[in-house]
Amino acid sequence: MLEGFTNALLLILVSELGDKSFLLAMLLAMRYPRWLVFAGVILALAVQTVIAAVAGQFLDLLPAAVVHWGIVALFLGFGGLLLVQAAQMQPNIAAHLEAEDLEEVQALENRLPKIAWLAPLLESFVLIFLAEWGDRTQIATVALAAAHNPVGVAAGAIFGHGFCSGLAVLGGKWVAGRISERVILFCGGGLFILFGLLAIFEHGI
């Protein structure tokens, strides 16, 4: 359980800091009460994490060799993709993403009920849930849950999401201005590749 917890925690910390959901949470916290934004964000991410952990258990229905090599290919593929993205990243990508996210926030804001406490909670939940659905982090969580204890993986991922979301809500603008997205992508890519290699060697292949 501890190994699953640690791997999931590391995965979230290097993947979520400064990413789309981090920027969305930061922008939402600038418009609404922070505690409502945090509640909506962490609820959405917790639901996504539980779904991913449960989905990982269904992989046991497949042949063990297929699951094993699928997990290896997934981690190595994601790692390579992140390294390529980091190498090709433009200097102003953060400002571009922030502008896109602000448009999403404003568009959803116009469609939600105008209830003082409910609207920020719903908006935070919906935006983050949609932004993270099918994201590489969610898919990687499925793979981790298939390879390790799902409870430990879910707990580690939720803890990591809570930490990143708290940073985004409380000091996202300050953090975002001091974090290099390129460095984060390189770290994330390296971690995915490390997980892929460990998956090979742990099974003695």
Q: Per-residue pLDDT for the chain (205 aa), expressed as one digit of tens each? A: 778 898 888 888 877 776 777 777 877 787 788 888 899 999 999 999 999 889 888 876 777 777 777 777 877 887 787 778 777 765 544 444 455 555 555 555 555 555 555 777 888 888 888 877 877 788 888 888 887 888 999 999 999 989 988 888 887 555 555 566 666 667 777 877 887 787 777 654 4
Instruction: Identify whether 192 is part of a domain.
Output: no
- How many Cβ atoms are within 10 Å of 87's Cβ, its own excluded? 11
Instruction: Identify whether 189 is part of a domain.
Output: no
Instruction: Identify whether 54 is part of a domain.
Output: yes
Instruction: Identify whether 115 is part of a domain.
Output: yes
Instruction: Identify whether 163 is part of a domain.
Output: yes
Instruction: Identify whether 190 is part of a domain.
Output: no
pLDDT, position 38: 92
How many domains are there within the chain?
1
Instruction: Identify whether 82 is part of a domain.
Output: no
**Structural domain of residue 49, as residue ranges?**
2-75+89-179
pLDDT, position 18: 63
pLDDT, position 47: 93
Instruction: Identify whether 83 is part of a domain.
Output: no
pLDDT, position 110: 56
pLDDT, position 116: 56
